A and B are shown apart, each in its own frame.
Chain A
Amino acid sequence: MLKRLLLLRGTEIIVLALLACIPLTVSNSYLLGLLTLLTIYGILLIGLDVTVGYLGQVNLAQAAFLGLGAYAAGLSVSLLGFGMMGALGVSLLVGLVLGGVLAFPALRLEGPQFALATLSFSALSTTVLNEWDGLTGGAQGLSLNRPPLFGQTLGASGFYWLCLVILALVWMGMRNLLASQWGRAFEALRDSPIATDAMGVGTFRHKVAGFALGSSLGGLAGGLYAFNFQYLQPQSFTYDLMVILLLGVVLGGRKSLWGAFFGASLIVLLPNLLSNRILFEVISAAGLLLALVAGGRGWMKKTTKPFQALAPVIAMGMLVAGGFMVENTENWRKAIFALMLFSVVVGLPDGIMGFAARYLTKLFRISPSALPPASNLDDVLPLGKSSGGVLLELQALKRYFGGVKAVDGINMQVKKGQVHGLIGPNGSGKSTAVNVISGLYAPTSGEILLDGKPLPRGSLFKVARAGVSRTFQNLQLFGELSALDNVMLALKGAYRVPLPLVLLGFSRAEDSRAKADALALLALAGLADQAGMRAKDLTYGAQRFLEIARALARKPELLILDEPAAGLAHPDVSVLVSIIKSIRERGITIILIEHHMDVVSELCDTVTVIDSGQVIAEGTPDEVKRDPKVIKAYLGVAPDEPVAMPA
């Protein structure tokens, strides 16, 4: 634990100290310029990584935000006479506000459409910068002077230190943010937006916040960019730069601060390395060697496919051969970038830092951080006696899809503290009914009352906040997150520290409390020893149980379980039954949709049978099983007869 902290934090401090000391020992203004650019691109790429890495969206607007921030800072100095801090504040704010404005419509789109929306935004903003001659100087460009910082004029090294300090602050803030509930929410909504909403974590607000945050860092980097070059031209912020920025993030490694930093150094250094023929040969040869070693090892161990091992070797080989053939490597810059990007995307999908991190973790035997002891389950989910009475009431609930009457006037009462079964043939409307209750669909007509009060309609998020939690028939786990993080994300009432304090790192205490509570819930589902595993690596049965633990983290009044036993084999079914029994002991009311009749009979106090969108029977499991209508529509045979004829 201590070793982990020393190594991780120690590396950060050493690199920072080294970078800070360079201007003291070397007085090379060219080198200093490169280092300044490195810090600026570092901030820019950390911002871009929020959307590209964590939100998982292709964002083509970051170059535009760099430009907008640069012009905002430049204009606030030349027109308004702002100082350094004021101007940087303006550029940050411009990125934040415009990012938020773009995010509102754009983030309702997904995938390629989102990429196109950001692309059109960047086309729009460069055109405005280019054509608004009166304000920006148009294609002529805008010259400006570096303003003083608190009355001090900054020289080249002074400005570099300022950039370095800002990078360090951004780094720390992002590290704190990404380790908190915010970081989990960003990753969760990439894996399953539906489940994120259903766990009471607003998808849309986190998406907008994430995008605005990334854009504000773009704007801030723009301000620094303006004061570094002291001359701005709209052409600097077009697609060319955007492609190179994306390349930096992917090459360096997504979802990693070090990856962004590494990508920034590559972007800054590569054009300069390319101008030196011998250096270029050395680097491409090293790349070829790395591709050969990594590919060869992967092939021997059968962890990589032949294509994955061979393609980078060929691409890097082309680079080496091309280095001897072409006259001027600088003219081939983009082709060289392209070959490198191709090799990394194919050979190291996690980027260079992702690969290095895995390797270094093994080399230094860095163990994952230790888990706190689990809380007492009774503190997380108090043992409760239900007061009796009706918890959920459906009145003439209807939901039509076009002409299809999926739910056609259901009346149902769920009593407090009971396990209420909902059964019926496939396509009878059970799933639609719970989707309407939980807010995935809005009802066509009818009333849904929880504890006598109407439940919000058509919003998973609002219904989840009202105290209804659910699992999904087709699992909706956050596959990339650990089992523990899946539960922690949903934990109700655990995160109260406001955003500014989160950035400063004041959320650690509540985070470790949340961890302890989540562990208690995992233990209830029998997953205590698999807390650190990624959800998608768990066995199918464990994934089903994890969904239940996650739904419980909402501390719901009503828990809806949608076919929890589907696909479970006999031994796991008995585990499921005991989990549901122990949930009932805690006074939580449960709606159980299930096809396994023995599970239904063992658990349910009341069963409602639905066919063709209407209730055809209701009663205790035994009553329902003997109902001729139920036998005809659903069971096929009466319970006393053998289930199937012997072969």
Chain B
Amino acid sequence: MLQVENLHAGYGTSEVLTGTTLHVKQGSVVALIGANGAGKTTTMRAISGMIKPASGRVLLGGQPVQGLSASRIAKLGLAHSPEGRKVFGPLSVEDNLLLGAYNHLPMFFGFRGRAAEGLEKVYALFPRLKERRLQAAGTLSGGEQQMLAIGRALMANPKVILLDEPSMGLAPVIVQEVFNIIRRLKESGVTLLLVEQFAKSALEVADYAYVMERGRIAVEGTPAQLHQNERVIAAYLG
């Protein structure tokens, strides 16, 4: 579904990604782990078009999307739930969700009618959001905001979701809940690329995982294979 081939990208003159290659099959959850500064977030930003790759290819459903603008890539079916959640604080929960569907809904008439189905699906997954649908998103707790960020990504009905550090800055009990959500998403057949600091938990939900070091993939394999790799255990699973 998502193929990244030999991707090079960076900021200004400093190159962060030096040839990243990874594949996400339809309906699978793929984890991307590694140290700070290894290039995980940059990979996500390069895939979703927030920065332009210098070279390499990104294929979404077989179609090359590298070099397109972020809004164009989003329209083609890629949703990015960014690090730090980035919900629209002053807007209501429901408006945040509707903005997620903005790309494939009519501009003026019948907006809500067409969106209702998507909203129902998200509310079924996150009943908490339905309870709070008229509340300003900025007043939600950290865990609820994370649900909202994921829900907003789902509203676009995407082929692939990029999930960047969903557990960042959350209490342990909420982190467990976030991983339960990811498990539920997986059961409903969503294709997911997950960046996560909690490597252990990430490997528990993932079908396949990549370990990044200095801008490229150092190790890859199924969670079971990584659990046997001594280097990975020492550096990331401690």
Contact = CB atoms under 8 A, between A and B. Distances in A.
Whether chains A and B associate is yes
Interface of A: 302-303, 423-427, 473, 537, 539-542, 563, 566-572, 574, 595, 597, 633-637, 643-647
Contacts, number: 91
Interface size class of B (residues with CB under 8 A): 35 or more
Interface in B1-32: 12-14
Contacts of A633: 173
Interface stretch (B98-106, B116-124, B151-159, B197-205): B197-205
B36 interface: yes
B68 interface: no
A644 B204 contact: yes
A567 B37 contact: no
Contacts of B177: 636
Interface string B118-151: 0000000000000000000000011100000000
B54 interface: yes
Contacts of B13: 303
Contacts of B235: 570-571
Contact of A569 (B169, B172, B197): B197
Contacts of B168: 566-567
Contact of A646 (B165, B174, B204, B237): B204
B192 to A, nearest CB: 13
A540 B36 contact: yes
B111 interface: no
A175 to B, nearest CB: 29
A595 B142 CA distance: 12
Interface string B166-192: 001111111111010001001000000
12 contacts: A303-B12, A303-B13, A425-B174, A426-B171, A427-B141, A539-B36, A541-B35, A563-B169, A566-B168, A567-B168, A570-B236, A636-B176
Interface of B: 12-14, 33-38, 54, 83, 141-143, 165, 168-177, 179, 183, 186, 197, 199-201, 204-206, 235-238
B171 A595 contact: yes
Name the residue among A634, A643, A647 with the largest chain B CB count within 10 angstroms: A647
Name the residue among B14, B33, B173, B177 with the largest chain A CB count within 10 angstroms: B173
A566 B179 CA distance: 17
A283 to B, nearest CB: 31
A595 B173 CA distance: 10
A635 B177 CA distance: 11
A424 B38 CA distance: 30
A540 B37 contact: yes
The 10 closest A-B pairs by CB, nearest first: A539-B37, A636-B173, A426-B142, A541-B36, A427-B141, A425-B171, A566-B169, A636-B176, A569-B35, A571-B35
Given A567-B197, A643-B200, A635 B37 contact: no
Contacts of A636: 172-173, 176-177
B173 A568 contact: no
Name the residue among B38, B176, B186 with the largest chain A CB count within 10 angstroms: B176
A53 to B, nearest CB: 22
Given A567-B36, A570-B35, A571-B35, A647 B169 contact: no
Given A425-B173, A567-B169, A646-B204, A572 B141 contact: no
Contacts of B14: 537
Given A426-B141, A426-B170, 6 more contacts: A426-B174, A539-B37, A542-B37, A570-B197, A595-B175, A645-B204
B141 A568 contact: no
Contacts of A537: 14
A572 B177 CA distance: 25
A564 to B, nearest CB: 11
Name the residue among A303, A566, A570, A635 with the largest chain B CB count within 10 angstroms: A570
